[in-house]
Chains A and B, each alone.
Chain A
Amino acid sequence: MDEKIISRVDLMKICKDVIDKGNTLLTPGAADYYVVKDISDIILDTSALPSKISHKSYVFPRTEPVLYYKRSKNDVQLIDINIDSKKIVILGAKPCDANSINIMKHLFNWDHSDEFFNKRANNFMVIGLMCSHFDEYCFCTSVRSSPVSEKGSDLFLIPVDINNYALKIITEKGKEFISPYSGYLKPGDEKNSKLITENVRQPEAAFDSSEVYEWLGENFESPKWEGVGNLCLSCAQCAFVCSVCHCFDITDEDYSYTEGRRMKNWDGCQFGNFTLHASGHNPRDIQSKRYRQRVNHKFRYYVDRFGEILCTGCGRCSRGCPVSIDIKEIVSNCNDNQKEFLK
């Protein structure tokens, strides 16, 4: 792995160049990842908490047309969508968020490869930033990540002093991106940045994900689900802000009798009618079953299928939950059958 030193000023010059070339530059704010218009807005704060809403909408938009249609007496004609595949650079992605596209990729390339997702994902350039602050909801270290994890980043920044960053070049994509700017790079020393990353305060691991995996397999019918089912309000805020939740719904929108478009919209498993069948039967008819699905999907089914935990440990869902249901608390109370999830 290659390590360089870059000054903040030079980094901003690169950012300016990215914007001037007509590419999208994203950076995390308090509420959302937002598109940078003016580089003086860029903060690059290692001590910021994950934004309220994740950046997933840039690779998996909350709503997008997948085709247009026009029907006539005996025919339907379809028009494909050409998605614009602008390069998107995320500057200062939290280490938890940086890996989210990699995690979602499995799903979107499983039995069918989703060209919408792939086109956007391939155009993503992730510049991660080390994280130096966590709160009661963060648990990246429990889901095989950490505040200094480079997983998912193409380039990774570690602040070495007030004006300089150590820049690690992780992937080929990152190398390609940075090569035109090699004039800004000074040789770095891995020892320096290692000293910093080793001393970063990390949240203590709250649970062992393999134990959770086992427990979930054996406790599908556990009465413990009912307690959390009673409290949860079925809003699916948790799924919508999550950086790796990826359920969607397909719906047709007519412009008129003859033309319309087919939309792909976010959906969430906590909604009561998420699994409602046309017959009226609902296999997940009560909230406890829906919550069980959420935890199982994240910590068991996804692991079964793709070998990854469908959770980055960012804690967004818990921070934003209207009734403060904390997924970390629930998962870490799994193993103890004596203990309720939430007491």
Chain B
Amino acid sequence: MDKQNWEPKIVAFVCNWCTYTGADLAGTSRLKYPANCKLIRVMCSGSIDPVFILKAFERGADGVLVSGCHPNDCHYNAGNFHARRRWDFFHKLLDFIGIEKGRLQFSWISASEGKKFADVITKVTEDIKAMGQFTSYKKMNSEFTVDFPADLAELEEPVLQESFDKETVK
């Protein structure tokens, strides 16, 4: 893909009670922000395991955002405090082994901060755009890959997608 048209893939792990609700507010307030972020709703920022983040990178994310309630606002009282210690460490570790700080970002966004949500998403998207594709991680994926022959590529839609659709319609 040429550089101009490349759009970063960003995964955002957001907590149900604050950031996700904040995203809702951004939507209902008709605020504009880039569409690069795929939101994954979890119950608490304290329940986001670092393996989620590695998995996101493995599956081709160029950046990850982790966001939860402001300190002292946690729905479960202390989940975000525990998370904060964990991320302080984890991001130092990633930095040491060569994953730049900007690839993994953090924020506190409350349910009333629709504007902040839009701003954070815009900023993260721009940062990651500036950094470019996360090629060093993606290179590891290509160790054993195969180009599927063209006749295989035209299979019907996947089973899982279908059941997934049904669920959301329900």
Interface residues of A (CB under 8 A from B): 64-65, 68, 70-75, 77, 79, 255, 257-259, 261
| B146 nearest in chain A by CB position | A68
- Taking a contact as CB atoms under 8 Å apart, the answer to whether B155 and A72 are in contact is yes
The answer to whether residues A73 and B149 also contact, given A65-B144, A261-B144 and a CB cut-off of 8 A, is: no
What is the predominant secondary structure among interface residues of chain A facing chain B?
A: strand
- Taking a contact as CB atoms under 8 Å apart, the answer to whether B159 and A70 are in contact is no
Residues of A within 8 A of B148 (CB): 68, 70, 79, 259
Number of A-B contacts (CB under 8 A): 39
Contacting residue for A72 out of B144, B145, B149, B156, CB 8 A: B156
- Taking a contact as CB atoms under 8 Å apart, the answer to whether B158 and A258 are in contact is yes
**B28 sits at the interface (CB 8 A):** no
9 examples of A-B residue contacts, CB within 8 angstroms: A64-B144, A72-B155, A72-B159, A73-B156, A73-B158, A74-B156, A79-B146, A257-B159, A261-B144
**Alpha-carbon gap, A73 to B157, bound state (A):** 7
Q: 18 additional contacts, CB 8 Å, given A73-B159, A257-B158, A258-B160? A: A68-B148, A70-B148, A70-B155, A71-B155, A71-B159, A72-B155, A72-B156, A72-B158, A73-B158, A73-B162, A77-B152, A77-B155, A79-B148, A79-B149, A79-B152, A255-B145, A257-B159, A261-B146
Please, what's the 1-or-0 string for B5-27, where 1 marks a CB less than 8 Å from any CB in chain A? 00000000000000000000000
Chain A nearest CB, measured from B161 CB (Å): 6
Contacting residue for B161 out of A65, A79, A257, CB 8 A: A257
- Taking a contact as CB atoms under 8 Å apart, the answer to whether A75 and B155 are in contact is yes
Interface residues of B (CB under 8 A from A): 144-146, 148-149, 152, 155-162
Residues of B within 8 A of A261 (CB): 144, 146
Chain B nearest CB, measured from A96 CB (Å): 31
| A-B interface, 6 closest residue pairs, ranked by CB to CB distance from nearest | A72-B155, A257-B160, A258-B158, A72-B156, A257-B158, A68-B146
- Taking a contact as CB atoms under 8 Å apart, the answer to whether A71 and B158 are in contact is yes
Residues of B within 8 A of A79 (CB): 146, 148-149, 152
**Alpha-carbon gap, A258 to B159, bound state (A):** 8
What is the predominant secondary structure among interface residues of chain B facing chain A?
A: loop
Residues of B within 8 A of A257 (CB): 158-161
| B144 nearest in chain A by CB position | A65
Chain A nearest CB, measured from B163 CB (Å): 10
Residues of A within 8 A of B152 (CB): 70, 77, 79
Residues of A within 8 A of B145 (CB): 255
Chain A nearest CB, measured from B148 CB (Å): 6
**Alpha-carbon gap, A255 to B148, bound state (A):** 12
| A261 nearest in chain B by CB position | B144
**Alpha-carbon gap, A79 to B160, bound state (A):** 21
**Alpha-carbon gap, A77 to B152, bound state (A):** 8
**Alpha-carbon gap, A24 to B120, bound state (A):** 52
**Alpha-carbon gap, A72 to B145, bound state (A):** 19
Residues of A within 8 A of B157 (CB): 72-73
Chain B nearest CB, measured from A88 CB (Å): 19
**Alpha-carbon gap, A258 to B149, bound state (A):** 14
**Alpha-carbon gap, A258 to B152, bound state (A):** 11
The answer to whether residues A258 and B155 also contact, given A73-B162, A79-B149 and a CB cut-off of 8 A, is: yes
Chain B nearest CB, measured from A318 CB (Å): 33
**Alpha-carbon gap, A68 to B148, bound state (A):** 9
| A63 nearest in chain B by CB position | B144
Residues of B within 8 A of A74 (CB): 156
**Alpha-carbon gap, A71 to B152, bound state (A):** 9
| A79 nearest in chain B by CB position | B146
Which residue of B145, B146, B160 has the most chain A CB atoms within 10 A of its CB atom? B146
| A70 nearest in chain B by CB position | B152
**Alpha-carbon gap, A310 to B76, bound state (A):** 56
Chain A nearest CB, measured from B151 CB (Å): 9
Chain A nearest CB, measured from B114 CB (Å): 32
**Alpha-carbon gap, A70 to B148, bound state (A):** 9
Chain B nearest CB, measured from A11 CB (Å): 34
**Alpha-carbon gap, A323 to B44, bound state (A):** 42
Residues of A within 8 A of B149 (CB): 79
Residues of B within 8 A of A68 (CB): 146, 148
**Alpha-carbon gap, A71 to B160, bound state (A):** 10
Residues of B within 8 A of A77 (CB): 152, 155
Chain B nearest CB, measured from A133 CB (Å): 37
Chain B nearest CB, measured from A63 CB (Å): 8
Which residue of A65, A74, A255 has the most chain B CB atoms within 10 A of its CB atom? A255
**Alpha-carbon gap, A68 to B162, bound state (A):** 22
Residues of A within 8 A of B158 (CB): 71-73, 257-258
Residues of A within 8 A of B146 (CB): 68, 79, 261
